Structure 1
Amino acid sequence: MVRLYTNEITIGYGDRVIVKDLSVQIPDRKITTIIGSNGCGKSTLLKAISRIIPFQSGTVILDGKNISQENTKILAKKMAILPQTPESASGLSVGELVSYGRFPYQKGFSRLTKKDMEVINWALEVTGTACFKYRPVDALSGGQRQRVWIAMALAQETEIIFLDEPTTYLDMAHQLEVLELLQRLNREQERTIVMVLHDLNQAARFADYLIALKDGQVMKAGQSEEVLTPLVLRKVFNIDAEIGKDPRTNKPMCITYNLLKGDRKHEKADDSLYFNLSVNY
C-alpha cells in the first residue's frame, strides 16, 4: 500500500536544480531509508516531501491529496520531521521543547491537556530524556539534544515521521538506541518512518525499503538485498565494495571498499539495472 508518493517533482535553489522530474513511492507502515553521496539531493527530497521547502513543479500526494493545498494543522497531524540541523531552542527547557510537538492538537492559546502531558512524558521516556525534563536544552550535549528533538517529533503523534540523519552527533551505542526505537515504533505502532542515513550498514539493517539517489535521480530502489550490491554502490558512490551478510540479521553489509579511480569501464554495464523502481514490500 502506498499513501505517499511524488509525481515528477523538480526542486531547486534559485537557478540550480537539485532534483528533476523525480517520482518515488514511500511504502506505508514501513521504514524507508534514502542513501547517496553528499549533495545528491537526499535532504532536499525529504524536505520537499514534508513541505518544509517548496518544489518548482510536480506534486506530492498524501492520501490522495496534494500536500501543497493541504491545511497546515491537518498535515502536521499526519507527518512530523526532524531536520538535520534543528533550529535553536535557546532558553527552553527540555519539557517545553517537547511540548511543542503538541501544537497541532491545541486550539488557540489553550493549555496543555492531561492527554498532552501523557504523550509528552511518554516521548521523554522512550527517548531516554525524561531525566532532563527540567534542564535547559542549551545545557545538553549534542547527542542528548538530538534525542530531545526526536522526542518532540514523537510527541506530535503522527502516522509518518521524517528524520534527516537522526544519528548525527551520537556515539555508536546511542545510534543503535535511536534506530531500534524507530524500528519499535514501526513494528509496534505501525508508524511509517522515512529517514536519510549515511551509514550504509545501518540503512541495510533497519530499512524495509532503500532509495539510492545520485544527482537527484533514483539509481535503484527496493529491499536492501537489491540496493546494497557492488554494482549499485559503484554507480552511486564510485566505490568498489565487498558485500557480505550480517551474521546477526542476515542483511547485506558493506565489509570493505576502495575508491574507484581512472578508467570506469564498469559503468558500461546495463544501466537498466539501476532504474528498476519496482516496489517490493
Structure 2
Amino acid sequence: MVLLYTDHLHIGYGERLIVKDLSIEIPEKRITTIIGSNGCGKSTLLKAMTRIIPHQSGSIILDGRSITKEDTKDLAKKLAILPQTPESAAGLTVGELVSFGRFPYQKGFGRLSKKDLEVINWALEVTGTIDYKYLPVDSLSGGQRQRVWIAMALAQETEMIFLDEPTTYLDMAHQLEVLELLQKLNEEQERTIVMVLHDINQASRFSDNIIALKDGQIVKSGDCEEVITHQVLKEVFHIDADIGRDPRTNKPICITYNLIKGEYENEKENHPVFSYSGSANA
C-alpha cells in the first residue's frame, strides 16, 4: 500500500531546477532508500517531501491529502525527519533533546504530560539510549548521538521517519549500528523508513525499495535486484561495476568498480558545483 507519493513534482532553488517532473511512490511499512550522485536531487527531494522546502509545481500526497494543506502540528504527527547535519544540541541532556519530539502534542505552556514522559522513556529504551538520559548530548560518541536523534524522531510517534544520510561521519561499526536500528524499527514497529544513502551496498542490504536518481529524475526504482545492477550503476554513477552476491544476505553488492572516464568528466562539466557541502549535496 502506498503511504506517500509525488505527482509530476518540480523543485528548484531560484532559477535552478533540481528535481524535474518526478513521480514516485513510497510504500507503507517498508524501507525506501534514495541513491544517486552528488547534486542529483536526493536531499532536495527529501526536504520537499517533509515540507522543509517548497516545491514549485506538482503534488506531494500523504494519506490521500496534499502536504501543503496539512497543519504544521498535524503533519509533525505523521512524519519526522532527521536532517543530514542536525542542529547543535549544546547544553542539552539526552532526555531534554528527545523531549522535543513531543512538541506536536503539547498544549498551553508546553509542560510534559505523563504520556509524554512515558513515550520519551520508551523511545530511549527502543534506541538503547536510556542509560544516557541525564548525560549531555555533546559527551556522546557519533553513533550514540545519532541514536539519540533517532529517539527524538521516535518520540514524535509518526508513521514515517525520513533520514538524510544517517551514517555520515560515522565509522563502519556505528554505521551498521544505526542501520540495524532502523531495520529493527521497521520490522518490529512497522515504521515506514525513507532515507538517503551514499553507500550502495548498504542500500542493497537494508532496503526493500530503492530509488536511483540522476539529474532529478528516476533512472530505476524497485527492489535491490532491479536497481543494483551493472547498467543502472553505470548510468547513475558513471562507473563500470562488478556485481556479486553478499554471502550473508545473498543480495547484490558492488565488489569493485572503475570510473568510466569520459562520462564522469562530462558529468562534472554539467555539474560545476561538485562537492559535499551546501546545496550541492542535493
Q: TM-score of the superposition, structure 2-length normalised?
A: 0.90
Q: Which residue of 2 aligns with 1:123?
A: 123
Q: Which residue of 2 aligns with 1:8?
A: 8
**For residue 151 of structure 1, what is the aligned residue in structure 2?**
151
Written as runs of structure 1 = structure 2, the 5 A alignment for 1:24-173 is: 24-173=24-173
User: Distance in 2 between the 1:49 and 1:263 partners?
Assistant: 31
Shift of 1:116: 1.4
Q: Given the alignment of the two structures, is residue 237 of structure 1 paired with residue 219 of structure 2, yes or no? A: no
Deviations 1:139-160 (A, max 9, x none): 3333332221111111111000
Matches within 5 A, 1:251-262: 251-262=251-262
Judging changes above 3 Å, is the alpha-carbon distance between structure 1 residues 214 and 191 closer, same or farther for their aligned structure 2 residues? Answer: same
3-state SS of the aligned residue for 1:80?
A: strand
Alignment length, in residue pairs?
A: 264
Structure 1 residue 263: Cα displacement: 7.2
CA distance in 1, matches of 2:136, 2:189: 30
Unaligned 5+ runs, structure 2: 265-282
C-alpha separation in 2, matches of 1:183 and 1:217: 27
CA contact (8 A) 2:4 2:26 kept: yes
Equivalent residue number for residue 278 of structure 2? none
Distance (Å, rounded) in 2 between the aligned partners of 1:190 and 1:263: 41
Gaps of 5+ in 1: 265-281
Shift of 1:132: 2.1
- CA–CA distance in structure 1, aligned partners of residues 205 and 192 of structure 2: 16
1:48 Cα deviation (Å)? 0.3
What does the per-residue CA deviation read over 1:42-74, in whole Å, with 9 as the maximum and x for residues that have no partner? 000001001111111111001111001111111
Counterpart secondary structure, 1:88: coil
- What is the identity percentage for the equivalent residue pairs of Structure 1 and Structure 2? 77
CA contact (8 A) 1:127 1:178 kept: no
Change (3 A) 1:263 1:11: closer
Q: Would you say the 8 A contact 1:89–1:137 is kept in 2?
A: yes
Who is 1:213 aligned against?
A: 213
Q: One-letter code of the match for 1:188?
A: E
- 2:276 corresponds to which residue? none
- For 2:262 and 2:54, locate their aligned partners in 1 and report how far apart those are by CA, in whole Å: 39
Tell me, what secondary structure is at the counterpart of 2:203? helix
Q: Once the 2 structures are TM-superposed, how far is the Cα of residue 136 of structure 1 from its aligned partner?
A: 2.1
Match of 1:204 in 2: 204
CA distance in 2, matches of 1:72, 1:41: 24
- Contact 2:143–2:177 (CA<8 Å) still a contact in 1? no
The CA distance in 1 between the partners of 2:255 and 2:168, in whole Å, is: 22
In the TM superposition, what whole-angstrom CA distance separates every residue of 1:211-264 from its partner, at most 9, and x where no partner exists?
000111100000100000000000000000010111111111111111111379
Extract structure 1 runs of 4+ deviating beyond 4 A: none
8 Å contact from structure 1 (residues 101, 152) kept in 2 = yes
Q: Which amino acid aligns with 2:39?
A: G
Structure 1 length-normalised TM:
0.90
